[in-house]
Amino acid sequence: MSFASHAISQTNAGAKRSLASCREDLERSWQLSSDEPSPSSQIAHSISNSSDSLDNDDGMGRYRYKRQRTVEPEEVEMKVDEAMMDTTTITSFSRIRITPDNRPPKHTPSNLPQSQNNNNNVTPNASVKAGWYQGQVDAFNNRHGLGTTKHDDGTEYQGQYVHDSIHGQGRYTFVPLHQLVPNPSHTVDPRYDANLLRQTERVHEGLYRCDIPHGGGTTTTKIVDSVPFPSNSQGWTSSGIDIKHVQVIQDVGFHKAEKHGCAVGEGIRFIFTRNGSGGWEESCIRLYNGESTGVNVARDYGIWVCSCLGVDVPTAPTSL
Per-residue pLDDT reduced to its tens digit, 180-200: 998 887 676 676 778 889 999
The answer to whether residues 287 and 271 touch, using CB atoms and an 8 Å cutoff, is no
Q: Band the pLDDT of 23: cuts 50, 70, 90.
A: confident
Q: Band the pLDDT of 234: cuts 50, 70, 90.
A: very low
* HSE-up (13 A, CA, CB side) for residue 72: 4
Q: How many residues does the chain have?
A: 320
Nearest to 280 by CA among 249, 240, 234, 313: 249
The answer to whether residues 304 and 266 touch, using CB atoms and an 8 Å cutoff, is no
pLDDT above 90: percentage of residues in the chain: 44
Share the mean pLDDT of the chain: 75
pLDDT digits (tens, 9 = 90+) for 113-155: 654 433 333 333 557 899 999 999 998 889 999 999 999 999 9
- Give the per-residue pLDDT at 320: 66
Q: Is pLDDT above 80 for 39?
A: no
Residues linked to residue 246 through DSSP beta bridges, in sequence order: 224, 274
Residues linked to residue 255 through DSSP beta bridges, in sequence order: 215, 263
Nearest to 320 by CA among 60, 82, 137, 127: 60
pTM of structure: 0.74
- The C-alpha angle 131, 137, 141, rounded to 5 degrees, equals 75
Q: Band the pLDDT of 75: cuts 50, 70, 90.
A: very low
CA distance 227 to 242: 5
Query: Distances in Å between the alpha carbon of 152 and those of 88, 132, 299?
Result: 28, 8, 39
